[in-house]
């Protein structure tokens, strides 16, 4: 019931109709499909990043993964981290505001490294980011040592913040739109020629959740 309540609350907030159902066998099955409309040519896609663009993220990273790590370790889960895991906030307003500003965009569901790699692959470019620039909440900083925190921020998923690229000329525009949204936007790196994602200050780690792995 709690999960259904969450779906209904988000649906009401964004004027979305929650319809249909799926009957299956098994202990748990959740299947969701979202449908909508966007003006022609205005969709935020993965394939628009260009060499020289800057890489940005919204909010803070690693909170949901931190809550999961605490649960898996059998320790008390910090309430702010648990809230980010149980009730992530979709950045709909930011996504709308980024139209005409961002060159490419993706939400962080599988981990920053994995999802930024999707942008890099679709755009035919590489990306360089700095581990020390990744934004962290006070709750995450208080719960994990720096090295463990960086891994959670770079590879943990389910925060559903936005990772996007934009030309350096849009930096002022991004700073301007962050204030009314009450959402911090952090520049974490840049798009370069080549392929893949390199994170300076972070040792070898799994890039994040890999579908069908």
Give me the residue spans of the domains in the chain: 44-200
Give mean pLDDT, residues 166-181.
95
Residue 150 scores a pLDDT above 80: yes
What's the whole-number average pLDDT of the chain?
90
Identify the burial level of 203 via C-beta atoms within 10 angstroms of its C-beta, where 0-12 means exposed, 13-18 middle and 19 or more buried: exposed
Decide which of 114 and 14 is more confident: 114
**Which distant-in-sequence residues (6+ apart) come within 8 Å of 50 by Cβ?**
103, 123, 125, 165, 167, 191
Q: Looking at residue 1, what is its pLDDT?
A: 46
Q: Looking at residue 27, what is its pLDDT?
A: 75
The token pair that represents 34 in the structure block: 């979202």
Per the CB < 8 A criterion, the answer to whether 147 and 90 are in contact is: no
Q: Looking at residue 139, what is its pLDDT?
A: 98
| Residue in the structure block whose two tokens are 């790699």 | 117
Question: pLDDT-based confidence at 171, cuts 50/70/90?
Answer: very high
Decide which of 185 and 36 is more confident: 185
Segment of 8-17, 51-60, 81-90 carrying the highest mean pLDDT: 51-60
Residue 213 scores a pLDDT above 80: no
- The pTM (predicted TM-score) of the whole model is 0.87
The CA–CA distances, whole Å, from 172 to 94, 135, 167 equal: 15, 19, 11
**Which distant-in-sequence residues (6+ apart) come within 8 Å of 182 by Cβ?**
none
- Looking at CATH, the fold of the domain delimited by 44-200 is given as Phosphoribosyl-aminoimidazole Synthetase; Chain A, domain 2 (3.90.650)
DSSP state letter for 104:
E
pLDDT tens digits, one per residue of 37-68: 889 989 999 999 999 999 999 999 999 999 99
| Residue in the structure block whose two tokens are 């005409």 | 100
Per the CB < 8 A criterion, the answer to whether 135 and 184 are in contact is: yes
């Amino acid at each position: 019931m709690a999960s259904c309540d969450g779906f209904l609350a988000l649906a009401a907030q964004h004027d979305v109709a929650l319809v249909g159902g799926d009957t299956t066998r098994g202990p748990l099955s959740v299947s969701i499909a979202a449908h909508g409309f966007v003006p022609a040519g205005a969709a935020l896609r993965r394939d628009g990043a260009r060499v020289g663009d800057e890489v940005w993220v919204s909010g803070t990273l690693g909170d949901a993964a931190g809550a999961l790590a605490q649960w898996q370790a059998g320790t008390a889960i910090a309430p702010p981290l648990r809230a980010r895991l149980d009730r992530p906030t979709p950045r709909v307003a930011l996504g709308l505001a980024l139209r005409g500003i961002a060159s490419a965009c993706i939400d962080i569901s599988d981990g920053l490294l994995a999802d930024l790699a999707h942008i890099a692959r679709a755009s035919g470019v590489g990306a360089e980011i700095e581990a020390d620039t990744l934004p962290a909440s006070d709750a995450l900083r208080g719960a994990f040592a720096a090295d463990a925190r960086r891994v959670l921020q770079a590879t943990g998923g389910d925060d559903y913040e936005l990772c996007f690229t934009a030309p350096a000329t849009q930096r002022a525009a991004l700073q301007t739109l962050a204030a009314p949204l009450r959402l911090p936007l952090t520049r974490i790196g840049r798009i370069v020629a080549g392929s893949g994602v390199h994170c300076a200050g972070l040792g070898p780690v799994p890039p994040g959740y890999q579908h069908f792995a």
